[in-house]
Amino acid sequence: MRPDEQERLIGNIVASLKGVPAEIQKRQLWHFKQADPAYGAGVAQGLGWDIKGISGRIARKSRPIRPRTGRQEYRDGTT
C-alpha cells in the first residue's frame, strides 16, 4: 500500500473510532498492533493513546465464553 493510502486508511479508522468507548478503542488498537505494529501505532497516535500501553490482556478480557443459556455471554459480564 502506498504511503498516501496508508495515511488515508489510518485517518478513516481514527475518525470511525473517536466516538466509541475507550475500552473498545484499546481492544481495537491491540488487534491493529498485532496485524502491523506501524499501523497500530498510527491509529493509536491519532486517537491520543500510547501504543506501548496497549496489551493483549485488554483484548482477552472480553472474549466470548460458551453460552449456557442460549445467549452469548462475555467474561466481563456483558451480553
Structure confidence by residue, pLDDT tens digits, 19-75: 999 999 999 999 999 999 999 999 999 999 998 888 776 555 545 545 556 666 666
The DSSP 8-state label assigned to residue 36 in this structure reads -
- Find where cell 485488554 sits: 58
Which is it for the CA torsion 78, 62, 20, 50, positive or negative? positive
- Segments making up each domain of the chain, as ranges: 22-79
